């Protein structure tokens, strides 16, 4: 089974115009960890160095091993992609960072968790192996394209 994403790789201010409330004020802006630049409309997320877990199926390999381009959704500090039966979300809360990568139905997690402090771009799998894990361990990374901002 092949999962292909054809998404325009443009970057820029979220929800133009770029005014207070449109920025992810948790991480971008004066004095914040990601600086004064605009919040990206799209971020990349990829899982690295994982091990197959109890629910692993070889058909997951192609999806899990590729980078995914997530559009900004719901509010300026959240990005989400639903691709077929898979969900990936990255959220930058006021005091922490949260992320999930999973098969939707039946539920099987590749990565799920949250970490303090806020504005992380990399998180190591925080959960022990459970019966609902398709992958264990690993590092989930987020980045954005500086070009086009």
Tokens of 6: 């054809």
Q: What is the pLDDT of residues 95-123, one digit of tens each?
A: 899 999 999 999 999 988 888 889 999 99
- How confident is the model over 127-144, as a mean pLDDT? 82
Report yes or no on 28 lying in a domain: no
Average pLDDT over residues 124-139: 78
- Please tell me the predicted confidence (pLDDT) of residue 99: 93
Q: Is residue 120 part of a domain?
A: yes
- pTM comes to 0.80
pLDDT at residue 30 in the model: 84
Residue 61: which H helix or E strand, with range? helix 61-64
Angle at 92 between CA 89 and CA 95, to 5 degrees: 135
The total domain count for the chain is 1
Residue 88 domain-assigned?
Answer: yes
Q: What percent of the chain has pLDDT over 70?
A: 79
Helices (H) and strands (E) in the chain, counts: 1, 8
By residue range, what is the domain housing residue 48? Answer: 42-143
């Amino acid at each position: 089974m092949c999962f292909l994403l054809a998404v325009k790789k443009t970057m820029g201010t979220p929800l133009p115009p770029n005014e207070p409330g449109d920025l992810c004020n948790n991480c971008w802006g004066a004095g914040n960890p990601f600086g004064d630049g605009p919040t990206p409309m799209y971020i990349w997320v990829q899982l690295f160095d994982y091990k197959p877990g109890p629910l692993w199926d070889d058909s997951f390999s192609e999806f899990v091993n590729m980078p995914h381009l997530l559009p900004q959704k719901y509010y300026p500090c959240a990005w989400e992609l639903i691709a077929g039966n898979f969900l990936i979300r990255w959220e930058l809360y006021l005091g922490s960072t949260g992320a999930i990568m999973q098969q939707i139905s039946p539920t099987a997690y590749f990565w799920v968790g949250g970490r303090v402090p806020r504005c992380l771009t990399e998180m190591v799998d925080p959960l022990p192996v459970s019966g609902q894990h398709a992958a264990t361990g690993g590092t989930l990374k987020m980045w954005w394209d500086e070009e086009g901002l």
